Amino acid sequence: ATLLCLANGGSPSAWRLGWKVGGSSSSSGVSNSLEVLGRDSHYSWSSTLSLSADQWRKAGSVSCEASLDGQSPVTQTLDPDHCSQ
């Protein structure tokens, strides 16, 4: 499974995207883009997480977190059991 997390309209550029698999932070299989400054002076980011079929089935949940130092992260969670194959 390949999951894509997109974030846009952010400022400042210091926001970071990260992944949690089954509630634990994961950096394996992660590819992050550099921030892109749009015409509206806001930034966009993307991050891709690649999981094997077995990891995907056993994950329980997969979350993408957008974080900025000193602020609560913004999280989007996906439940593999609620996804079609």
C-beta separation of 59 from 51 below 8 A:
yes
Report how far residue 14's alpha carbon sits from residue 27's, in angstroms, rounded to the nearest whole number.
18
Torsion (CA) 78, 4, 59, 63 in degrees, nearest 10 = -50
Which residue(s) pair with 29 in the sheet? none
CATH of the domain at 45: 2.60.40.10
Report how far residue 15's alpha carbon sits from residue 65's, in angstroms, rounded to the nearest whole number.
10
Q: What is the pTM of this model?
A: 0.85
Tell me the residue range of the domain where 24 lies.
2-82
DSSP assigned state of 76: E
User: Tens digit of pLDDT per residue, the chain (85 long)?
Assistant: 999 999 988 887 888 999 999 999 999 999 999 889 999 999 999 999 999 989 998 999 999 999 988 889 999 999 888 886 6
Number of domain units in the chain: 1
